Chain A
Amino acid sequence: MWSSYVNDKKKHLEFERVMLPHLGAAYNLALWLLRHPSDAEDAVQDAFIRAYRAIENWSGENASGWILKIVRNTCMTKLKKTSRHANVIHLDSVIDDLERRQETVVLADGEPLADERLIAAAEEKAVREAVRQLPADYREVIVLREFEDLSYRQIALVIGAPVGTVMSRLSRARQQLRLKLSAANNEGHKNEM
């Protein structure tokens, strides 16, 4: 019976050593997919526990790809479930919207624009928002390529699609981002005038 404790303990330590370094990437992906910190936290926790139970299925290579795939699938299942209750509005998103509107007003008044950091923050917020608004299928390839620096092949493994699909989704996602951001820029210029 002691060997059972020792084995479990060994498994836990090994899991901590191999998989926990990818917690940052996992949380980032979940946050971009689910768009709410508490949902992302729950999903990552679920995914890591599932991964621990299924660790025997891991090939021993590409730990980050393997754990991200589980996180991604957990998030996608969650998204499908919530889209069925899409008429329920998340309080966080309402508050986000309110904050965003207030900030737009401040920028339109034109006073604090002298502060470069504020401009940079507004710019970051606009880009963030453009990514947030992408459909989930596009959002995940952008996050994996641009923020996690995964190759096409690695992305294909995580999302379970051929490399060709990864390329076309990335391309469409970038197209949408370019459109959205240039539209936002034009609006910004109008406001400044």
Chain B
Amino acid sequence: MKCEETSILIEALLDGELPENEADTVQEHIKDCPACTRDLNDLTALRERLHQISRSSVPTTLHEKISGEIAATIGKEAPSGFWKWPQVMMTHATAAVVGGVIVYGSLFLLPVAQTLEEEVLSAHVLSLTDGKLMQLKAGDTHKVKPWFSGKLNYAPIVANLTEKGFPLLGARLDILGGGKVAALVYGRRAHKINLFVFPNKKAVKHQRMVFTRDGFNILKWHKQKFEFWAISDLSVDELIAFSRAISAKTEMQ
């Protein structure tokens, strides 16, 4: 074996790309050849130096930018239907004005409009159908809370409601409005409740809203700079009881 032939094979050897028998032949040659030994040493030293280079970290906003841009395309191709007319009514500004007239605890029934409500609905339907309802199965708030750290840039409020008849079943990460959010799964008899929790500092306090769509009831409220969205096939009354129980626990935390 000649050295010129060996040169590229030494690299292949170093890259772990040589089949065993060929690797043996090359190693045999290197043993008896000072020039090729030097070559191998040089290449090994180069590799070590290259591996000293630390990887640049990804800008923190890049993931959000990509998710946001993709989320913005969701449902864009959907045909516009008659039920979309309340969209004008349902802009958040309008909702806030209307909300001003509503006293705490009173309810506002509206058909679901295109926006976050739809996302909550599709997230709920998806979580029930794709078998990925829970990434973490744990009824213990002390296990659920730390599970989110490092996965989210906030610590969601996690309440234990077993004594109120809403046992915490588990949790997962989901996407709403282009960002990652905490999704907590609660049970009520055979029913499941998805509770989405994310920070919203601009939230209007004590304003609850109810939406109904496709047989599901959706309840939205704010508490302590967090926005809560609960969705289930439970009755509106039971969802309200659930939200009250959460709010009571939230005050204590």
Contact = CB atoms under 8 A, between A and B. Distances in A.
Given A1-B79, A44-B62, A28 B55 contact: yes
Contact of B66 (A5, A31, A45, A146): A45
A120 interface: yes
Interface in B41-88: 42-43, 46-47, 49-56, 58-59, 62-63, 65-67, 69-71, 73-75, 77-79, 81
Contact of B51 (A16, A48, A146, A178): A146
Most buried by A among B42, B65, B66, B175: B66
Contact of A41 (B17, B59, B69): B59
A137 interface: no
A159 interface: no
B125 interface: yes
B122 interface: yes
B7 A31 contact: no
Contacts of B78: 1, 4-5
B62 A124 contact: no
B130 interface: yes
B126 A49 contact: no
B40 to A, nearest CB: 12
A27 interface: yes
Contacts, number: 116
A27 B62 contact: yes
A27 to B, nearest CB: 5
B251 interface: no
- The range of chain B's interface size is 35 or more
A4 B77 contact: yes
Interface in A160-178: 167-168, 170-171, 174, 177-178
Nearest to A126: B49
A142 B50 CA distance: 9
A49 B52 contact: no
Given A124-B53, A142-B50, A152-B17, A20 B79 contact: no
A127 B55 contact: no
Interface stretch (A7-15, A56-64, A77-85, A107-115): A7-15
Contacts of A91: none
Interface of A: 1-2, 4-6, 8-10, 12-13, 15-16, 20, 23-24, 27-28, 31, 37, 41, 44-45, 48-49, 52, 120, 123-124, 127-128, 131, 142, 145-147, 151-152, 167-168, 170-171, 174, 177-178, 181
Interface of B: 7-8, 11-12, 15, 17, 42-43, 46-47, 49-56, 58-59, 62-63, 65-67, 69-71, 73-75, 77-79, 81, 118-119, 121-123, 125-126, 130, 174-175, 214
Given A5-B119, A27-B58, 7 more contacts: A12-B175, A13-B175, A27-B62, A44-B66, A142-B50, A178-B43, A178-B46
